[in-house]
Amino acid sequence: MSTHRPIYAQRKRGWQPARPRASRRSPTAVRWPTWRELARTNQPAERWAPEGSMRLPVRRLLAYVLLAALAFTLYVGHVYATRAALEEVQRLRSEQLQLVLRYNRLRGELDRATSPAVIYERARALGLTEGFTYGPVVIHANP
């Protein structure tokens, strides 16, 4: 039988691993390494990046750094654009307030110039006299 098949495929067919099966008391039992033995290593490169592990390639790391720098640059540009937009809005609000105040002042002057008291005074100055009251003429017909 072939020994290079995956374990799950081997077990489905009833294949047992090649390691010896012995009881714990038997001197021929396979000794597995302890956690301390596994943690001890004289090769620091293997400890940090053992063979077969997923190491980040330098190009990918550089791409991530450039992407982060681009995102930061866009964020800073967005902050300055937002600040400029806020200053423009504040300037337009103050201009709008000045225009409203000017409109109210001019409207008040117009209302004072065209008030009934001023019109009557000017009419008297022109020599006009007051007539009968304003309103529609009502004619009563005798039936």
Residues 100-143 pLDDT 10s: 999 999 999 999 999 988 888 888 888 887 766 665 666 677 76
Residue 83 included in any domain: yes
| Global confidence as pTM | 0.44
Classify residue 26: in a domain, yes or no. no
**Whole-angstrom distance, CA of residue 17 vs CA of residue 5:** 11
Domain enclosing residue 93, as ranges: 58-125
Q: How many CB atoms are closer than 10 A to CB 5?
A: 13
Domain count, the chain: 1
pLDDT of amino acid 95: 98
Lowest mean pLDDT among 67-76, 78-87, 111-120, 122-131: 122-131
